[in-house]
Every structure is written in structure tokens, then in C-alpha cells.
């Protein structure tokens, strides 16, 4: 495995992600920001943040599989949520949990959560990009 996820002493432990990702692989994979599109480009889960987060994670899983990897290889995620407020956290976590169950993983790489005014398509509530490292 090219990625080791840790919570170093002196930093808070967060349940949903690790503070540090240590990469030892040799192949970097940069996954473009994924939105809640199905394979035909139709938006999945209009108005439903949890459904859209789930679809973004599944799309990342598909992209990584296409590069010969999986969520276990993710070194860093960046999550962009439209009109973010802390009360949306349960929906974000629900979507991650549902995707994790379908993917058979516990996706906890370091992550950055950013609130944004809008995304490229008005129906999109979230966009998630990933960086992975493969052996």
C-alpha cells in the first residue's frame, strides 16, 4: 500500500479523516473534481446533498479504478460544498457513509472542506477532487 494515514501526537483526532497522509508510491493520480453525474452526464440526487456526496465518492472510485487504484490509494481530498453551513455536516457524513458501504472502504484521507458560492451547474451542491498515490 502506497498510503499510510496517521494522526500525529499534538494534533486533534478527527473521526472522519486523518491529519496526515504519508505516500511511498511512485505514480501520482489527480482526479478532477467529481460532481453528481451518472455515466450519461445526468445529475443524480437533485436537491439532496447526501445523495450527491455519495455519487461524487462513487465517481472518484470509478476514476481511480480506471487508473488501477482504489480509495485506499487516496492521499488527499478537497470537498467544495455550495452555501456551506455547519448544519450540513450530517448530510455530508451520511453521503460519505453510504458511499463507503458501497465501495467497501473507510475513506479517511486528509481532507479540506471549502464552502463555495456556486459550481458549474446550478443543480450541483458538491464537487470533490482527489489525489492518489499508487505503487
Query: What SS3 state is found at 24?
Result: coil
pTM of the model: 0.91
Give the Cα separation of 115 and 59 in Å (integer): 21
pLDDT at 45: 98
Range scoring the smallest mean pLDDT among 2-16, 80-94, 120-134: 2-16
Query: What SS3 state is found at 109?
Result: coil
Beta-strand ranges (E) seen in 8-61 are 20-23, 27-34
Q: Is the pLDDT of residue 70 over 90?
A: yes
| pLDDT, tens only, 75-101 | 999 999 999 999 999 999 999 999 999
Amino acid at each position: 500500500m502506497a498510503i499510510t494515514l496517521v494522526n500525529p501526537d499534538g494534533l486533534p483526532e478527527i473521526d472522519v479523516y486523518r491529519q496526515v497522509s504519508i505516500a511511498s508510491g511512485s505514480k501520482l493520480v489527480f482526479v478532477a473534481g467529481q460532481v453528481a453525474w451518472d455515466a450519461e452526464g445526468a445529475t443524480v440526487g437533485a436537491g439532496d446533498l447526501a445523495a450527491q456526496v455519495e455519487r461524487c465518492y462513487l465517481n472518484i472510485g470509478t476514476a481511480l479504478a480506471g487508473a488501477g487504484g482504489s480509495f485506499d490509494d487516496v492521499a488527499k481530498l478537497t470537498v467544495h460544498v455550495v452555501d456551506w453551513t455547519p448544519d450540513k455536516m450530517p448530510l455530508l457524513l451520511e453521503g460519505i457513509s453510504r458511499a463507503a458501504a458501497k465501495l467497501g472502504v473507510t475513506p479517511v484521507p486528509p481532507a479540506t472542506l471549502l464552502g463555495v458560492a456556486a459550481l458549474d451547474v446550478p443543480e450541483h451542491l458538491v464537487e470533490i477532487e482527489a489525489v492518489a498515490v499508487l505503487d
